[in-house]
Chain A
Amino acid sequence: GAVVSQHPSRVICKSGTSVKIECRSLDFQATTMFWYRQFPKQSLMLMATSNEGSKATYEQGVEKDKFLINHASLTLSTLTVTSAHPEDSSFYICSAFHPGEGGEKLFFGSGTQLSVL
């Protein structure tokens, strides 16, 4: 099946720094990617929809200036957590929508565990 690579898998940073997470579709072009966040013992929550060549669409309650999303190419979307604080510590996971006919449509990365000290 299609592969989505997410990097890094784990990052620890100091409060106030910015962290960039990359999501790549390795063998298909993804015009749409999604970013989710999961707090311990809670659901994966959709943060934003990333569309290639246009601005991301953020879900209600998600600060667009804090979580910067860039989808500059058909195979890469990045999520930058700006001025990270301990409350931003979470598991972030991306998915890419495969537009091909039939079969599975949505493929997930393996996630990034962010810990802000």
Chain B
Amino acid sequence: AQSVTQLGSHVSVSEGALVLLRCNYSSSVPPYLFWYVQYPNQGLQLLLKYTTGATLVKGINGFEAEFKKSETSFHLTKPSAHMSDAAEYFCAVSLTGGGNKLTFGTGTQLKVEL
């Protein structure tokens, strides 16, 4: 079985500041890890995913995440926040690389202030 913990249901940053959204997972097998973003009134959109290979994964909109097996973490970062980054972010784990059966975290609402 697998599970995901997202620390902080709400995160607030200033525009231009570093964004750090935390995600820790547990999995009985090597995990496939995902970050999704949900803008208001829209479906979840894939930001990035880790399957195998390089542990630093780059995604869309300047986001990246690093898989750290020793820390069972997959934190999401962006060097400089933009107002358009305000959204809900979900970390998820899957037993398959295609992500067709996901276990989600509770989500983190990111607020970007001027």
Measured between alpha carbons, how far is A49 from B105 in the docked complex, in Å? 19
User: What total of chain A residues lie within 8 Å of the partner, measured CB to CB?
Assistant: 25
**Segment touching A, from B22-30, B63-71, B75-83, B93-101:** B93-101
**Residues in chain A near residue B103, CB distance under 8 A:** 43, 46
Measured between alpha carbons, how far is A45 from B99 in the docked complex, in Å? 14
Determine chain A's interface SS by DSSP, over half rule: strand
Are A43 and B100 closer than 8 Å at their CB atoms?
A: no
Determine chain B's interface SS by DSSP, over half rule: loop
What is the 8 Å Cβ interface bit string for chain B, positions 96-113, against chain A (1 contact, 0 not)? 001111111111000000
Q: Which of A6, A32, A42, A45 contacts B43 (CB 8 A)?
A: A6
In the complex, A115 has a CB within 8 A of chain B:
no
Are B43 and A111 closer than 8 Å at their CB atoms?
A: yes
Query: A-side interface residues toward B, CB under 8 Å?
Result: 1, 4, 6, 9, 32, 34, 36, 41-46, 49, 93, 95, 97, 104-111
